[in-house]
Amino acid sequence: MCGRFTLTLDADEIIDEFELTDFPDLTWNRRFNIAPSQQVLTIHKPASAKWMRWGINRAVNDRNDIMINIRKETLIEKNYFKNMFDAQRCIIPMDGFFEWKKSKNKSYPFYFKLKDKAAVGFAGLWKPAAEDASWVECAIITCPANELVGSVHHRMPVMLDKAFFNTWLNKETNRATLLHLLQPYASDKMTSFEVSPQINKPSFDSPDGIKPSIKIGDQRSFDF
């Protein structure tokens, strides 16, 4: 799954890297701990970005579920997702994400990022918010983890290189091609390291959150 991610580029870098001509907010602040229910920058059509809320609200058995992730295996198995998969796809720009490794009844956060600065986005789906049609909600598609992420968690978000953005966003792209894109990202293009548990707090949105921890024996320290 993916429960937190980063987008640490400046506005000009985002516009350049993702080849945007329509950007919703030039007062953009770099983000080091994006959490569910927050606004996220998305690309819903080529060269055009907009704000969406992370988490799709779905009524299930008289209660509301907030879906921040959607398993790729369910996209064509469940009717609820079919229309979104066919016509409501988006890209969520990112440059890193967090996963938690469980050990001895504790969970330790790890940060995963690309080794280079290539433009990459999560594959996502979107829909109008049920309570307010003027607002849009989105979720991140997940797939089985690659070898690197698999050492921490068995699932990972689907990450698309810029070369595949237009194919993913094009409403004419057939399902077989779309499903073929939903593969684990190559481990050899990524790196990871343990970070401070401060990142557990959604309010902790600081560059310190993506600094590697230093482990000495069973003790961990953080160079803030």
Q: Report pLDDT for 133.
A: 64
Q: Which domain holds residue 143?
A: 4-222
pLDDT digits (tens, 9 = 90+) for 171-203: 999 999 999 999 999 999 999 999 999 999 999
Alpha-carbon gap, residue 20 to 28, rounded angstroms: 14
Nearest-angstrom CA–CA distance, 62 and 165: 37
Tell how strand 48-54 and strand 136-144 pair up.
parallel
Cα–Cα separations (whole angstroms), residue 51 to 22, 38, 118, 131, 205: 12, 10, 22, 17, 19
pLDDT of residue 220: 57
Task: For residue 215, give the CATH number of its domain.
Answer: 3.90.1680.10
- pLDDT of 217 strictly over 60: no
- Going from the C-alpha of 120 to that of each of 77, 92, 165, 186, the distances in angstroms are 27, 9, 9, 12
Point out the catalytic residue in the list 2, 90, 138, 143.
Answer: 2
Helix (H) or strand (E) holding 101: strand 96-103
What pTM value is reported for the model? 0.92
> Which of helix, strand or coil describes residue 131?
coil
Structure token pair of residue 103: 């050990």
| Helix ranges restricted to H, 45-122 | 79-87
Which long-range CB contacts under 8 A does 167-173 form with residues at least 24 apart? 168/89, 168/91, 168/123, 169/43, 169/44, 169/45, 169/46, 169/89, 169/90, 169/91, 171/86, 171/87
Say whether 99 is catalytic: yes
**How does pLDDT run across 125-157, given as a tens digit for each residue?**
999 877 666 689 999 999 999 999 999 999 999
- Taking alpha carbons only, the member of 67, 68, 86, 66 closest to residue 76 is 86
Q: Is 223's pLDDT higher than 70?
A: no
Q: Into how many domains does the chain fold? A: 1
**210 in helix, strand or coil?**
helix
Phi, psi of 189 (to 5 degrees): -100, 0
Given the residues 90, 99, 137, 138, the one annotated as active site: 99
